[in-house]
């Protein structure tokens, strides 16, 4: 098997198992234990990370973070952020 085919198999293996929740470090050492070269593994990791980063959706809008303070009586009040109080923004 050619090196390109080995690399493609390693990239697919990494992507599949990263999606399952395995850590990159554990997958790397599993491949080293199976006899793959560290250089080939490092190249495949870079390629897998690049391919996975292209699949991530881009956020177009920043999420709005708010918080509430709840007293013992159960009455809640929304507290303004420090920046909004500083600049007088409602």
Q: What is the pLDDT of residues 16-72, one digit of tens each?
A: 999 899 999 999 999 999 999 999 999 999 999 999 888 877 777 877 777 776 666
Torsions phi, psi for 86 (to 5 deg):
-65, -45
Q: What is the pLDDT of residue 71?
A: 66
- The pTM for the full model equals 0.59
In the prediction, which pLDDT does 45 show? Answer: 94
Q: Which two tokens stand for residue 22?
A: 């395995």
Asked whether residue 75 carries a pLDDT value surpassing 60, the answer given is no
H/E segment holding residue 78: strand 76-78
pLDDT tens digits for range 77-90: 566 677 777 777 76
In angstroms, the CA 26 to CA 60 distance is: 33
Identify whether the C-beta of residue 47 lies closer than 8 Å to the C-beta of residue 11.
yes
Q: CA-CA distance, 42 to 14, in Å (whole number)?
A: 11
Which are the contacts of 32, defined by CB distance < 8 A and separation ≥ 6?
Answer: 38, 41
The structure tokens listed for 85 are 């109080």
């Amino acid at each position: 098997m050619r090196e390109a085919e080995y690399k493609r198999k390693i990239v697919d293996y990494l992507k599949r198992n990263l999606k399952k929740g395995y850590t990159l470090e554990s997958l790397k050492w599993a491949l080293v234990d199976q006899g793959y070269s560290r250089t080939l593994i490092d190249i495949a990791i870079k390629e897998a990370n690049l391919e996975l980063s292209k699949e991530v959706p881009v956020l177009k809008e920043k999420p709005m973070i708010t918080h509430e303070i709840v007293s013992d009586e159960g009455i809640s009040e929304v507290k303004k952020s420090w920046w909004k109080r500083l600049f007088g923004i409602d």
